[in-house]
């Protein structure tokens, strides 16, 4: 990965630093999307103007930032956001508000348990709230792509940089 991807590596490394344990990463792989999905559902209830919802704006913002970091995965994330937004608009996706809030709360609780029990490290969200909230879904997308065998050079470089950080401690 060339230097033009240094920002992507830096951002992924920030989040990966807090997520070494395989069980905790699995927990996050399930519950980060759960939190994001439930948040999209309940934020979609807030219409700002002429059919534009808070979810639409967040989706655009996240997508643009992800594209800024790395075009191919940014476009993939954008496609996922488009599908969710269409599903919400056409009401293919419809949960009750109590269900959405319950999923959101359970998602957070399970992740904190994952950090306390398996990772034994405080969550990234305690060090940088905004960066964590924006990066968590992108990190999980990368973890999924890594498991499928995509972007092996990115994965190995991240693991190498993480080992260097751990050695310096």
Query: pLDDT tens-digit profile of 8-65?
Result: 888 888 888 888 888 999 999 999 999 999 999 999 999 999 999 999 999 999 999 9
Domain of residue 85: give its range.
Answer: 3-164
Name beta bridge partners: 49.
52
Please check whether residue 103 is in contact with residue 37, taking contact to mean a CB–CB distance below 8 angstroms: yes
Going by C-alpha positions, the residue among 168, 110, 152, 125 that lies closest to residue 1 is 152
Report yes or no on 169 lying in a domain.
Answer: no
Query: pLDDT tens-digit profile of 151-163?
Result: 898 888 888 888 8
Report yes or no on 11 lying in a domain.
Answer: yes
Going by C-alpha positions, the residue among 12, 7, 9, 6 that lies closest to residue 132 is 12
Number of structural domains the chain divides into? 1
Looking at the predicted structure, is the pLDDT value of residue 125 above 90? no
């Amino acid at each position: 990965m060339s230097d033009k991807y240094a920002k992507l590596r830096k951002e992924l490394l920030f989040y990966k630093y807090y997520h070494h344990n395989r069980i905790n990463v699995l927990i996050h792989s399930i519950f980060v999307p759960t939190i994001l999905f439930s948040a999209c559902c309940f934020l979609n209830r807030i219409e700002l103007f002429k059919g534009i919802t808070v979810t639409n704006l967040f989706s655009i913002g996240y997508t643009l930032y992800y594209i800024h970091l790395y075009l191919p995965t940014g476009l993939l994330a954008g496609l996922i956001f488009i599908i969710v937004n269409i599903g919400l608009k056409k009401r293919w996706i419809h949960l009750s508000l109590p269900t959405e809030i319950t999923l959101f709360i359970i998602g957070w609780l399970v992740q904190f348990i994952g950090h306390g029990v398996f990772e034994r490290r405080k969550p990234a969200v305690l060090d940088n709230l905004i960066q964590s909230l924006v990066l968590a879904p992108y990190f999980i997308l990368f973890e999924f792509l890594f498991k499928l065998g995509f972007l092996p050079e990115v994965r190995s470089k991240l693991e190498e940089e993480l080992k260097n950080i751990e050695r310096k401690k």
